[in-house]
Amino acid sequence: MEVPKIKIFDEKDKILRVKSKKVSFPIDKDTKDLINKAITYLKLSQDEKIAEECNLRAGMGLAFIQMGIPKRIFVIANKNEDEKTFEEHIVINPEIISQSEELIYVGEGEGCLSINRPVDGIVPRHARVTVKYFDIDGNEQQIRVREDIAIAFQHEIDHLNGILFIDYIDPKNPYKNKNKMREI
C-alpha cells in the first residue's frame, strides 16, 4: 500500500489557529477522497516498518485543518490490541455534549503530527466524553469515548477550534496539578 501524499502543516503555520467551518451535506468527492487518504496515512504511520522506510511519525488522529483545510472534520485510526485491525472514526461537525469530571493525561506526553519537537508537560483531558457528530453520509451520530480515544477526540476537536495541545501546558510549571489527574 502506498503512503498518500498529504501535506501536514507545522505549528508555525497560522492556518492551525483558524477556527474551522461547519460542513454541509452531501460531502463532495474530493472531501471523501481526502478522508480516505488521511485514514490510510494514519494506518501506515503506525506500521513501524513503513514509518521507518517513509520517514513518517506515528499518528492516530488528523484534523482537516492540519492539512490546511478549515472544515470541521477529523479522522482517527487507532491500532487495536490484535496489532492488525484498527478502530476508525470519521467525525464531521463534532460537538462535545457531556464530559466526565475525572481528568486524565498521557504519561509519556501528548503528541501531534503538527508539533515536530519534543514537548514536556501534561495536558489535562476528560477521561470520558460524549460527542454528537455526523458521519460521512450526513447521519447524526452520538458516541461515548473513554481513555485514549477520548483524549484523541478532545485533541482533534481542539484543532477544529484553532487550539493546540501545547496551549494547555504551563511553561513555568509543565506538570502543574499532575496529582489531581490519572495517568494513562
> 147 φ, ψ to 5°?
55, -125
The H-or-E segment that residue 153 falls in is helix 147-160
Can 156 be counted among the known catalytic residues? Answer: yes
3-state secondary structure of 144: strand
What are the strands, taking DSSP E only, across the chain? Answer: 61-63, 73-79, 86-99, 103-105, 125-126, 128-134, 140-146, 182-183
Q: Are 124 and 101 in contact (CB under 8 A)?
A: no
- Active-site residue among 81, 95, 102, 156? 156
Which residues are identified as catalytic? Answer: 156
